[in-house]
Amino acid sequence: MEKFTRLTALAAPLDLANVDTDKIIPARFLKTIKRSGLGIHLFDTLRYNENEQERPEFVLNQEPFRGAQILIADENFGCGSSREHAVWALVDFGIRCVIAPSFADIFYNNSFKNGLLPVRLPRPQCEKLMQAARMGANARITVDLERQIVSTPRGEEFSFDIDPFRRHLLLEGLDDIGQTLQHASRIESYEAARRARERWYPPITA
């Protein structure tokens, strides 16, 4: 997993509340075998019309936001189903951080598993960031995970809270698996103890 320390990037304003996982990635794209490649269907119904042409009014279809790495949104981002595809689609598009006043639980947890940083900030601060983002190419927003600060192009700083364990994993670029593998010797000694205690336990053979 890619480390997340400090990111200065273009932010796309998505002024919508309750963006559900169906909006982020509709169910018909779930029969895939990859987690990559979903970026093209990110926000599919908002982004394309019935003829699969881009809707020019949608923010991610506009320059310079096609290259945005930060997304600013409204309340309850990521509600709906538990599909991890929603996070995969955002990451595949190139988004590394979503800033919103609140997130749905499962989406919030899934984000960390995939190197996407969800930042909760009070609504007035999100509004300021939304305004800044609208200025486009000249307005880069900085998300500093080490200091737990988001700064606007004008230098205003907003601090955010994050679970220390989650923060550590992102800073080190460890996903849950990388983290668990740091306990590899404990897993091995557990296995050895089990083998001694339950000698009868059979392997699976096909």
Partner 1 sequence: MSEPKSCTLFDKIWDSHVIERFSDGTCLLYIDRHLVHEVTSPQAFEGLRMARRRVRRPDLTIAVIDHNVPTSNRQAGIAEEDSRIQIETLERNCRDFGVPFIPVLDVRQGIVHIIGPELGISLPGSTIVCGDSHTSTHGALGALAFGIGTSEVEHVLATQTLLQKPAKNMKVEVKGSLPFGTYAKDLVLAIIGKIGTAGGTGHVIEYAGEAVRSLDMAGRMTVCNMSIEAGARAGLIAPDETTFDWIKGRPCAPKAEAWDEAVRYWRTLASDPGAHYDKIVQLDATEIAPLVTWGTSPETVLPINGSVPDPDEAGDDGRRAQMRRMLDYMGLAPGTRMQDIRVDVVFIGSCTNSRIEDLRAAAAVAKGRKVAPDVRAMVVPGSGLVKQQAEVEGLDRIFTEAGFEWREAGCSMCLGMNPDRLSAGQRCASTSNRNFEGRQGPGGRTHLLSPAMAAAAAIHGRLTDVRQMA
Whichever of 38 and 72 has its CB closer to partner 1, that residue is 38
CB 81 within 8 A of CB 33: no
Angstrom distance (rounded) from CA 125 to CA 134: 14
Instruction: Find the part of the chain contacting partner 1 (CB under 8 A) among 9-17, 25-33, 67-75, 120-128.
Output: 25-33
Of 34, 52, 56, 154, the one binding partner 1 (CB under 8 A) is 34
Quick note: the x/- pattern for partner 1 over 146-185, rule CB under 8 A, is -------------------x---------xxxx-xx-x--
Taking the CB of residue 204, how many other CB atoms lie within 10 A of it? Answer: 4
Whichever of 82 and 131 has its CB closer to partner 1, that residue is 82
Whichever of 37 and 124 has its CB closer to partner 1, that residue is 37
CB 107 within 8 A of CB 86: yes
How far from the centroid of its chain's Cα atoms is residue 101's Cα? 15
How do strand 117-120 and strand 97-100 relate by DSSP bridges? parallel
Peptide bond into 64 cis (omega under 30): yes
| Residue 44 binds to partner 1 (criterion: CB under 8 A) | no
| Residue 6 binds to partner 1 (criterion: CB under 8 A) | no
Q: Where are the alpha helices (DSSP H) in 105-163?
A: 105-113, 123-134
| Residue 194 binds to partner 1 (criterion: CB under 8 A) | yes
Angstrom distance (rounded) from CA 162 to CA 56: 36
Angstrom distance (rounded) from CA 85 to CA 42: 10
> At closest approach, how far in Å is the CB of 179 from partner 1?
8
Quick note: the x/- pattern for partner 1 over 101-120, rule CB under 8 A, is ---------x--xx------
> At closest approach, how far in Å is the CB of 2 from partner 1?
11
| Residue 190 binds to partner 1 (criterion: CB under 8 A) | yes
Residue 150 dihedral angles phi and psi, to the nearest 5° = -110, 130
- Residues at the contact surface with partner 1, assessed by CB under 8 A: 1, 31-36, 82, 84, 88, 110, 113-114, 165, 175-178, 180-181, 183, 186-187, 190-191, 194, 198-206
